[in-house]
Amino acid sequence: MAASFVVPGPAGVAIRARLRVSQTDAAVLVEVGVFLGGLAAGDLAVRSRQGLEHDGAAWAARKRELTGVSSARWAGSITKAMHDQWALARRGQAAEMAWLRGQVTSIQARLARPLGAKADKREGLARGTVRGRSGMPSPGACMR
């Protein structure tokens, strides 16, 4: 194992300032934003249709298609951002499904208890229920 060390702080400088542009420049920036936003939305739709069947070749094809209507730099930036957005959405869906499964398990445990039985209000499980390694009550534990 390597000896511990302190990582140096960031060396760059971030400057946050409002750009003061002319009305003409502002109009151009709005048009560019609308154009690139449309390209990004279209690419996200294409990426979403590809689903789990996505690979490097599909990514390259999306980038080539965008390069035809913009620059290679913008195409790369858009495809990466949309890939990251799609992955974030998938992680969110997985977390939501896990939460819903937990809620279903909690409801099933509550339904398995006899009517009027005392239970832990937080978990909805019969008092004294022993949980297994999975965190779920052992089978039949709620039937006491």
Nearest C-alpha neighbor of 53 from the set 75, 77, 98, 86:
86
Task: Name 74's Cβ contacts closer than 8 Å, sequence gap at least 6.
Answer: 36, 39, 66
Nearest C-alpha neighbor of 39 from the set 84, 82, 86:
82
For residue 70, which amino acid is it?
S
Task: Report, as an integer, the average pLDDT of 109-124.
Answer: 74
Query: Which residue would you say has higher pLDDT here, 51 or 135?
Result: 51
pLDDT at 132 exceeding the cut of 60 = no
What's the pLDDT at 130? Answer: 58
pLDDT tens figures, 53-103:
888 899 999 999 999 999 999 999 999 999 999 999 999 999 999 999 999
What's the pLDDT at 121? Answer: 62
Task: Give how far Cα 103 sits from Cα of 106, 113, 127, Å.
Answer: 5, 16, 19
What's the pLDDT at 109? Answer: 86
pLDDT at 1 exceeding the cut of 50 = yes
Domain locations along the chain: 23-100, 113-144
Q: What pTM does this model have?
A: 0.61
Across the strands, what pairs with 131?
137
In angstroms, rounded to a whole number, what is the distance separating the alpha carbons of residues 7 and 10?
9
What's the pLDDT at 143? Answer: 46
What's the pLDDT at 40? Answer: 95
Task: Name 6's Cβ contacts closer than 8 Å, sequence gap at least 6.
Answer: none
Query: Would you place residue 144 in the very low, low, confident or very high pLDDT band (cuts 50, 70, 90)?
Result: very low
pLDDT at 134 exceeding the cut of 70 = no
pLDDT tens figures, 17-45:
888 889 999 999 999 999 999 999 999 99
Q: Hey, is 89 helix, strand or coil?
A: helix
Dihedral in degrees, nearest 10, Cα atoms 98, 101, 103, 108: -160
Neighbour tally for 126: CB within 10 Å: 20
Gyration radius of the chain's alpha carbons: 26
